Structure 1
Amino acid sequence: MPAPEAPRHNAPRGIAALLAPVLRPALRRRGSVLGTLIADWGDIAGPEISSCSHPVKFAAGTLTIGCAGPDALALQHLAPTLIGKINLALGGAPVQRLRFTDMIIPATTRPLRPRHKASAPPAGLPDGPLGDALARLHHGVTRQRFNRPE
């Protein structure tokens, strides 16, 4: 005599229960891409790009980046380089295209550096207008060197 068949339940089931076995492997491979990009965006894109943009969405090989309108144009020119940096950081080639969306990026606050104290001009400068010009040049160069962004 054949073994009895398990009773079938014909009750409706949620679509999540049906799709979970199919989607779980795909999401395991691609789901962490956006999280990694958001967490490491400053290191991946560099300080100039990360200060004016932010990754928003990743789907089907397209990374959506939020940025202001004028920055989007500049980033479009850097797209091949940026895609290369992103794929190098993530391993493999999950990102094939970039898409830009208009978004206001909050300005990051940089820690204030102490003001540079004016140093005395070097000794041995000639008197007169040439000496004054060289002293102003020395002051500008030392101030610029101290205030250079890191």
Structure 2
Amino acid sequence: MSYQLANYQVFVTDQDEALDFYVNKLGLEVRSDVTVAEMGNFRWLTVGPVGQPDTAIVLMAIPGEPVFDQETEGQLRNLLAKGVGSTIFLTTDDCKASYEELSGRGVEFQEKPEERIYGIDAGFRDPFGNQFRLTQVRAGFGS
């Protein structure tokens, strides 16, 4: 039996704001945006990199009852705002150029591109606290 990674979930506090950030600032494309009335208007919202159709990021609203009680939901919101959310690793063939392009679209970086043992790396967060690493991996590293 074999498996493939299809979706990766990140919690967001506002799906419309997330959609704007992930599509208009990061340049990802919408994969699905479906509201399911039978599930209390649950919204299944996914985006993914252009040219990588089999992989998507689920932009999941932090659920309340019955998934999380009110206290847990609040704790998750607080932790997410502190950057304790998910980390997504993006690779690029030119970290410095990608940094300039994303900065020009309004992405605010916490770490500018820096040379590291494994390549060139920069870091930013989405508006909700999820971490991103933008990396140009050095040829031959890890092989």
* TM-score where L is the length of structure 2: 0.24
Larger CA Rg, structure 1 vs 2: 1
Higher helix share: 1
* TM-score where L is the length of structure 1: 0.23
Bigger relative contact order, structure 1 or 2, given CA contacts below 8 A and separation 6+?
A: 2
